[in-house]
Structure 1
């Protein structure tokens, strides 16, 4: 039997825990330092934004205080001018225009809906017995001086049942978009006021 004798000294295992702990501590220190730097820079940006908003608000406040201290000087001429501008921009009187719209209707035409918008436009829904009556009414509206522009937006049929014999009588409903001629309407109102 042979006995092996190892006369070489055994190598001791290197202790790697200390370098690993040091490396991890350095990495953590770097991460904390970088995150603190980023946090500080964002905080400084927010502070500068708030300070700039504060200066703007204080300037606006000072300007308002100056305006409140100085008396508002409006002369009677300025008041008269604003009153005249308001009167000129006042919407036209609708009763004569509505009477004119009804006067142009065919014999069995009925106004179902009438709406006036502040931009001098009128939307009218009118019921007729036939589609020819809708075209007849459109033609008369286009010939009228009260209106700048007239469009037949849509025409639809509705069926009404007669109670006596249950016959279906079709009715036509025309949707008209009308732009008023305000100048002509005001002239007509002025002439009516003079009479």
Structure 2
């Protein structure tokens, strides 16, 4: 009878656990590598876009500066000419104009509002006791050398309450007044000429004294 005796040590089976760990580690490493490559590509793409935007903004700034320089150089003479024209056509002084318009009012008429525009037009509202006084004021304005044209755009009646003294007593009563709206066009040339003449006369008077 034969007996088989094996004196060599038995080979232990490799554990499958280490293989699984190595496989998982490899997969994770590959995924991390792919993610890093994707993230790097994304960052590089954003950097390229930002660089393009910066270059575009620089080009726009340079273009704007060039256009501004060209505009300033080309319009310097034009702006100077406009300034000279404005100086020659400067707005009239308001106080003399108001004095002139007030001098045409009837005894009991007075100005309610006064709007003076630089183009030489005036929007004026005045109050009168009667419609005849309003017509009288309109005629006087039309005859003035300072005025080229005038229109009475509106005439409305209004009621106001006034105090009336009757001896020792004071009573209130309602009276009717008329508000007229006038649009007045001034002759700036005529007014300037008169202002210059008045200034010359004043200077001559000062020099003589």
TM bucket normalised to smaller: 0.5 to 0.7
- Map 1:12-51 → 2, pairs under 5 A: none
| Equivalent residue, structure 2, for 1:185 | 191
CA distance in 2, matches of 1:103, 1:136: 13
Alignment equivalent of 1:175, drawn from 158, 176, 181:
181
Flag structure 1 segments of 5+ consecutive residues without an equivalent: 1-56
TM-score (norm 1): 0.60
Q: Quote the RMSD (CA, aligned, Å).
A: 3.1
Shift, 1:102, TM fit: 0.6
* Worse overlay, 111-120 or 57-66: 57-66
CA distance in 2, matches of 1:69, 1:165: 74
| Equivalent residue, structure 2, for 1:146 | 146
Number of aligned residue pairs: 138
Flag structure 2 segments of 5+ consecutive residues without an equivalent: 1-56, 164-169, 202-209
- What secondary structure, in the 3-state scheme, does the structure 2 residue paired with 1:149 have? strand
Alignment equivalent of 2:172, drawn from 163, 166, 169:
166
Q: Is 1:86–2:92 an aligned residue pair?
A: no
Shift, 1:148, TM fit: 1.1
Between structure 1 and structure 2, the one with the greater Rg is 2
CA distance in 2, matches of 1:78, 1:170: 55
Shift, 1:117, TM fit: 1.5
Q: Is 1:104–2:104 an aligned residue pair?
A: yes
CA distance in 2, matches of 1:143, 1:177: 15
CA gap 1:60/1:141 in 2 versus in 1, 3 angstroms: farther
| Equivalent residue, structure 1, for 2:42 | none
TM-score (norm 2): 0.56
Shift, 1:80, TM fit: 7.0
Shift, 1:167, TM fit: 2.6
Shift, 1:63, TM fit: 4.4
Shift, 1:67, TM fit: 5.1
- What secondary structure, in the 3-state scheme, does the structure 1 residue paired with 2:91 have? coil
CA distance in 2, matches of 1:152, 1:169: 23
